Amino acid sequence: MLGKLTELDAEHARALAGGGEKYVERHRRRGKLLARERIELLLDPDAPFLELSPLAAWGSDFPVGASVVTGIGVVEGVECMIVANDPTVRGGASNPWTVKKSFRAADIALENRLPVINLVESGGADLPTQKEIFIPGGRMFRDLTRLSAAGIPTIALVFGNSTAGGAYIPGMCDHVVMVRERAKVFLGGPPLVKMATGEESGDEELGGAEMHARLSGLADHMAADEHDALRIGRDIVRRLNHRKQGPAPGAVAPPRYPEEELAGIVPEDLKTPFDPREVIARVVDGSEFDEFKPLYGTSLVTGWARVHGYPVGVLANAQGVLFGAEAQKAAQFIQLANARDTSLIFLHNTTGYMVGKEYEQSGIIKHGALMINAVSNSRVPHISIIMGASYGAGNYGMCGRAYDPRFLFTWPSAKSAVMGPPQLAGVLSIVARQAAEARGQVYDEVQDVAMRELVEAQIEAESLPYFLSGRLYDDGVIDPRDTRTVLGLCLSVVHNAPVRGAEGYGVFRM
């Protein structure tokens, strides 16, 4: 695991580098703060910042991080979603992954009722990739209006260019602050205006902070400099009268076992089982875990605990495979959590539901469907952590990304795909062999070996956490030793909204 953690640090460093040393230095020479420096000054002193999707665009043609920093931090005692353009990456222009990352931030803000603060400095869309941005990208502006309509405050602090589509970010926000002589907000800059209308204009008269403060009315506040803009932003948050709608946490007790040991629990070979109770004991308050049905469906551990004072239900895979008993146990437990208005934490390490004649005849399909039905219709907050394997329909039953957990994080040891690489390659081999036999042809064994190796390598690469995180299939890859802290931050966030369980479910097949 320590080797994987070193690799994780290196990947995060790529995101922190932004557009690279050359563009960072150019930005500094202009007297401007970097995106993360702006965030740090905006937050309360010593307040944590839960950065989201820092590895977005990993493995793509775009820089890691997708030219935007998103995350949750505390401003004037209020948990806020912060979205900060990184102008060192192509002027902060939005590429296809920027758009997807921004969508995810807006979804989290809406579901958890978090005020949104946009730190704006963007040249609009990355024009060479407009075909992938233009149509879906309009949702960014729709999201801001829907947040406002839901009573969730939206704030824009404009530090530089906010052109074309980017101009609608301040245009759609409830509160707008612009930096004097730096902020430039216009749908079309001077060159475009000249081409379209023949009119000569300067960028200050077309979209400067002073013009918007005095003439257009788009700016509610004009700041003297970046530090002043951040101060005004904090003042706005202080006066929002924002109140959490979920219950407050109880007393907090640290685990009795050191969190440092979380780095050594998951074995290098995921085929080797491990006891998830060892993880639970190092994450929950006082290491106290009230296990539910400990003697039934033993491949799934379920039970009640507290994390940073918040009550939670925990579902954790113990032996990888989910059988009918585990599925029924999970469905009952999820229903109980909804009856108690209690958040659920899913700890993944599963190869999926059991297959074979015996299990098909005993109803594994309907039992798996029972669990997936319960997960799908549960209304309490879900938080998923992929510790090890998360394959096949087991990923669905354990509240994978498709099932809209409030948050989903992975450990560097995680792997996720439709099935394990050897199994997938083996299935393709069997199908190809049967097809050859049906045609009366001799099956090429040498080609079969090459095909298996190629497929296994491909699926292995596509199962890794960086590949998945780069496509926003999680909210970040985290150090296992930070799991308790991350869960505590997430639980605090979800309690900004009411925590209420489902009042009904779909039809459960018996």
pLDDT at res. 229:
98
Q: What is the pLDDT of residues 371-425, one digit of tens each?
A: 999 999 999 999 999 999 999 999 999 999 999 999 999 999 999 998 888 888 8
Q: Are 345 and 380 in contact (CB under 8 A)?
A: no
Of the pLDDT bands very low, low, confident and very high (cuts 50, 70, 90), residue 93 is: confident
Q: What is the pLDDT of residues 465-491, one digit of tens each?
A: 999 999 999 999 999 999 999 999 999
Measuring CA to CA, which residue among 308, 345, 340, 351 is closest to residue 330? 345
Query: Helices 421-438 and 445-463: crossing angle, nearest 10°?
Result: 150
Question: Given the structure tokens 């952590």, which residue do they identify?
Answer: 385
Between the two ends of the chain, the Cα-to-Cα distance in Å is 42
Structure token pair of residue 256? 């009795």
Q: Are 379 and 502 in contact (CB under 8 A)?
A: yes
Structure token pair of residue 7? 């690799």
Residue 67 reports pLDDT greater than 80 = yes
pLDDT at res. 192:
77
Alpha carbon distance 373, 359 (integer Å): 19
Residue 288 reports pLDDT greater than 90 = yes
Alpha carbon distance 441, 418 (integer Å): 30
Q: What is the pLDDT of residues 209-239, one digit of tens each?
A: 999 999 999 999 999 999 999 999 999 999 9
The CATH number of domain 259-414+477-494, selected from 3.90.226.10, 3.20.10.10, 3.40.1050.10, 3.90.870.10: 3.90.226.10
Of the pLDDT bands very low, low, confident and very high (cuts 50, 70, 90), residue 501 is: very high
Residue 271 burial by CB count (10 A; 0-12/13-18/19+): exposed, middle or buried? exposed
Alpha carbon distance 430, 350 (integer Å): 24
Q: What is the pLDDT of residues 111-139, one digit of tens each?
A: 999 999 999 998 877 777 887 888 888 89
- According to DSSP, the β-strands at 78-85 and 68-75 are antiparallel
Q: What is the rounded average pLDDT for all residues in the chain?
A: 93
Total number of residues shown for the chain: 510
Q: Are 459 and 417 in contact (CB under 8 A)?
A: yes
Q: Are 442 and 509 in contact (CB under 8 A)?
A: no
Residue 165 reports pLDDT greater than 80 = no
Measuring CA to CA, which residue among 126, 42, 55 is closest to residue 83? 42
Residue 58 reports pLDDT greater than 90 = yes
Q: Are 84 and 49 in contact (CB under 8 A)?
A: no
pLDDT at res. 91:
85
pLDDT at res. 471:
96
Buried/exposed 180-201: b ≥16 CB within 10 Å, e otherwise: bebbbbbbbbbeebeeeeeeee
Measuring CA to CA, which residue among 105, 490, 508 is closest to residue 307? 490
- According to DSSP, the β-strands at 343-350 and 310-317 are parallel
Where do the domains of the chain lie?
A: 2-238, 259-414+477-494, 419-463
Of the pLDDT bands very low, low, confident and very high (cuts 50, 70, 90), residue 147 is: very high
Q: What is the pLDDT of residues 68-88, one digit of tens each?
A: 999 999 999 999 999 999 999
Of the pLDDT bands very low, low, confident and very high (cuts 50, 70, 90), residue 507 is: confident
Q: What is the pLDDT of residues 412-440, one digit of tens each?
A: 999 999 888 888 888 998 998 898 888 88
Q: For residue 115, what is the enclosing H or E element?
A: none
Q: Which residues contact 305 (CB under 8 A, 6 or more apart)?
A: 280, 284, 285, 288, 289, 290, 311, 312, 314
Q: Are 148 and 175 in contact (CB under 8 A)?
A: no
- Amino acid making up residue 297: G
Phi, psi for residue 317 in degrees, rounded to 5:
-70, 135
Q: Which residues contact 411 (CB under 8 A, 6 or more apart)?
A: 266, 385, 386, 387, 388, 465, 477, 478, 480, 483
The percentage of the chain sitting over the pLDDT mark of 90, rounded to a whole number, equals 72
Residue 36 reports pLDDT greater than 90 = yes
Of the pLDDT bands very low, low, confident and very high (cuts 50, 70, 90), residue 188 is: confident
Q: Give the DSSP letter of residue 94.
A: B
Of the pLDDT bands very low, low, confident and very high (cuts 50, 70, 90), residue 101 is: very high
Output the pTM of the full model: 0.93
pLDDT at res. 179:
97
Q: Which residues contact 334 (CB under 8 A, 6 or more apart)?
A: 313, 315, 344, 371, 374, 375, 378
Topology match between the domains 2-238 and 259-414+477-494: yes
- CATH T-level fold of 2-238: 2-enoyl-CoA Hydratase; Chain A, domain 1 (3.90.226)
Residue 199 reports pLDDT greater than 90 = no
Q: Are 113 and 62 in contact (CB under 8 A)?
A: no
Phi, psi for residue 414 in degrees, rounded to 5:
-75, 150
Q: List 306's β-bridge partners, or say none.
A: 311
Q: Are 261 and 1 in contact (CB under 8 A)?
A: no
Q: Which residues contact 41 (CB under 8 A, 6 or more apart)?
A: 33, 227, 230
pLDDT at res. 124:
78
Q: Are 242 and 115 in contact (CB under 8 A)?
A: yes
Alpha carbon distance 121, 34 (integer Å): 11
- Amino acid making up residue 112: N
